[in-house]
Structure 1
Amino acid sequence: MRGTTVLPGTAAAVPRQGEPPVHRLEVRLPDQVPFAAGGFDAMGPLSRAATPHRHTFYEIVHVVEGSGTHVLDLERYQVRPPQWGVILPGQVHHWEGVRGLEGSLVLFTPEFLVGGARDEELLRRLGERPWVDLDAATHERTGRLMAELAEEYRYGADGFAGVLRSLLHVLLVRAARLPGGVARPTPVRGVAEEFVRLAGRSAADGLSVRRCAGLLGVTPGHLAEAVRAATGRTPAALLREARTREAQRLLVSTDLTVRQVASRVGFGDPAYFCRFFRRETGRSPGDFRKHHDRRDPSLEGGGVPA
């Protein structure tokens, strides 16, 4: 997917003022598969980054040693191995006070998924419970599968991309089986699945339902019918949810003013944004920020590798 991968050593694009940097997935060659796997050390120092940042790719992490805190969007998760976690594209995350952090990572972009939109839906649902404690048996099985992925990626034998895709699919399906895991995914088809992806990636664009329908080449009525049949919700509700989630991330992870946050999520009128935010969350933007008092300073300028 264009803009989600870079060659090793490519500098990160400078984020908009006050926003966390965006890390893209490094690939060895321009035509290399958009995938990487290995231990924290093999993935480089950014795998333990202590500064808030986003990804253009998915990250699955299997923690086997260490202590500290993993901060993901609005939540803080204590590192108590063995644990399994998932980070979705666009989420803001970092590590705090970690010591002896060891384990393995799998990084990939959406187009690498063998199950396509179905696997993306599964990942989205896994992201609703992104940090999971593992029992001994599950920890052992997960470790073996993560090791297979890393070995296949490292050696790159004939047909390795297909093997990696298949193993990754197995990893996702098994993750969904964990105690308290995700519910069976609701079938999402055709225009509805395209809208769900569009809504999740365009929170800052302030897109209307009519505009989304135009981008997808359908009428607003057809879009509403398809989305409701597939998800049980309206397109407008999904767009509101995406914009609210992005606003929450910016309020907690940056020092942007409320006016700046409003602009970032597509509101030209800060007062209207405040009314919108209170209606969706029950709090004003200022109250929400005060309640989440562990904000990190904003990150400006470049110099952060992709």
Structure 2
Amino acid sequence: MSHPPAPASELIPKTVLHGGARLFVASYLVRKSELGRVWRCGFHALLWLNGGSASLVCDGEHFEVRPPSLICLSPGQVYRWSAADDAARATLIGFEANLFTVGRAQGGLLDVQLLHDLPLFRPEGTAVLAADENADSLERLFALCRQRYRQLSEAHGSGSWRVLPQHREGVLLAYLHVILAEAATLAPAQEPPRPAAGSDLRLSRLFRLHAGQRVLERLPVAAYAELLHVTPDHLTRAVRRATGQTPSAWLQEQLLTEARRRLALTDQPVEQVAAALRFGSASQFSRWIRDHTGQTPRQLRQQGRGNSPVLSGN
């Protein structure tokens, strides 16, 4: 895993996997190595807090996390640990979605659709799940993942992180499969979809997972429909039936979330934020912010910054 220098249009750095890796495992003391650092997920992440307590901020939401807890993060989300005691330890399993491609011919190792069927990864919000009843099972599973990852992975570059070759993914993916199944029992029971069929739910989740990672591209709904091999009308109906919201409205919410991230976590002038989000001018961006929040960009920046570390635009 790395936290590469960010280009001008991507000032909040994205964590990515290199060297052909699709899965990694890391364990760290929050206060010692992570406190205050800002991360944008470039993959799906399971964070297991099994010691101490900590405060997490993700896309403007604040969570007081007590062990044992499981945090599920989606690609594109921005988070930081804002406080932690000396005993706070987290284990992170990060993985690419293509691990769960249906069918071996497409590169996947499991013929499952866990990412689309389980209510864990939510682009519209962070899942922080108390794990009191499953704590022993999850602790053993995460410990086994750490142990097997160290055995199966190979040092990369300076050795600060390690690559798991794809031909050795099977064991770790089996553990991940079980962890996801265990984690699903922690999620609160959801009301059954009203008229929405399972296919609508899966298509809606796929749309939101893709859109959450490509918000800066400002793609129209038709582009996502083409990506998912359906018509724009089909996608709109499926998303509305599954969520009560249109794809266009959801894309606007994601764009607003990204605007909040940039205003709170960078020192970019409003003009640069507007340009990065592909608005024609700062005034157009400011009007759009006021229409959606009732506040100015400056007010949003002051509200969201608090004690957040600020990333320089230089």
TM-score, length of structure 1 as denominator length: 0.76
Residues 3 and 16, structure 2, Cα contact 8 Å, conserved in 1: no
Q: 2:140 aligned with 1:140, yes or no?
A: no
Residues in 1 aligned to 2:305 and 2:292: alpha-carbon distance in whole angstroms: 20
Residues 54 and 91, structure 1, Cα contact 8 Å, conserved in 2: yes
Q: Percent identity?
A: 29
Residues in 1 aligned to 2:209 and 2:8: alpha-carbon distance in whole angstroms: 23
Which residue number in structure 2 is paired with residue 304 of structure 1? none
The Cα offsets for residues 28-87 of structure 1, whole Å up to 9 and x where unpaired, read as: xx455x11124227x9x86x2532121212221111223443222212333432222122
Which residue number in structure 1 is paired with residue 148 of structure 2? 152
Aligned residue pairs total: 285
Q: Return the offset for 1:276.
A: 2.5
Which residue number in structure 2 is paired with residue 85 of structure 1? 71
Residues in 2 aligned to 1:59 and 1:86: alpha-carbon distance in whole angstroms: 6
Letter matched to residue 25 of structure 1: L
* Equivalent of 2:285 in 261, 273, 289: 273
Residues in 2 aligned to 1:240 and 1:188: alpha-carbon distance in whole angstroms: 24
Residues in 1 aligned to 2:152 and 2:191: alpha-carbon distance in whole angstroms: 35
Residues in 2 aligned to 1:183 and 1:115: alpha-carbon distance in whole angstroms: 26
Q: Could you say what secondary structure the match of 1:96 adopts?
A: strand
Alignment of 1:173-192 (within 5 A): 173-178=181-186, 180=188, 187-188=198-199
Which residue number in structure 2 is paired with residue 163 of structure 1? 171
Alignment of 1:1-306 (within 5 A): 12-16=4-8, 19-26=11-18, 30-32=19-21, 34-40=22-28, 48=34, 50-98=36-84, 99-113=86-100, 114=110, 118-120=114-116, 122=118, 123-125=120-122, 128-135=125-132, 137-156=133-152, 161-178=169-186, 180=188, 187-188=198-199, 194-213=206-225, 219-294=231-306, 295-300=308-313
Q: Flag structure 2 segments of 5+ consecutive residues without an equivalent.
A: 101-109, 154-165
Structure 1 residues 221 and 38: CA distance shift in structure 2, 3 A: closer
Residues in 2 aligned to 1:183 and 1:225: alpha-carbon distance in whole angstroms: 20
The Cα offsets for residues 221-241 of structure 1, whole Å up to 9 and x where unpaired, read as: 343234334444212112111
Kindly indicate whether structure 1 or structure 2 has the higher relative contact order, using CA contacts under 8 Å at least 6 residues apart: 1
Structure 1 residues 63 and 127: CA distance shift in structure 2, 3 A: farther
Letter matched to residue 167 of structure 1: Y
Residues 59 and 108, structure 1, Cα contact 8 Å, conserved in 2: yes
Aligned-residue Cα RMSD (Å) equals 3.5
Q: Return the offset for 1:119.
A: 0.8
Residues in 2 aligned to 1:168 and 1:296: alpha-carbon distance in whole angstroms: 32
Residues in 2 aligned to 1:38 and 1:214: alpha-carbon distance in whole angstroms: 36
The Cα offsets for residues 13-37 of structure 1, whole Å up to 9 and x where unpaired, read as: 43326812222125xxx455x1112
Q: Flag structure 1 segments of 5+ consecutive residues without an equivalent.
A: 1-5, 302-306
Q: Return the offset for 1:131.
A: 2.5
Structure 1 residues 104 and 248: CA distance shift in structure 2, 3 A: same
Letter matched to residue 71 of structure 1: V
Q: Return the offset for 1:181.
A: 6.1
Q: Return the offset for 1:183.
A: 5.9
Residues 18 and 299, structure 1, Cα contact 8 Å, conserved in 2: no
Q: Could you say what secondary structure the match of 2:125 adopts?
A: coil
Letter matched to residue 263 of structure 1: A
Q: Return the offset for 1:266.
A: 2.2
Residues in 1 aligned to 2:302 and 2:111: alpha-carbon distance in whole angstroms: 41
Residues in 2 aligned to 1:283 and 1:145: alpha-carbon distance in whole angstroms: 46
Q: Return the offset for 1:196.
A: 2.7
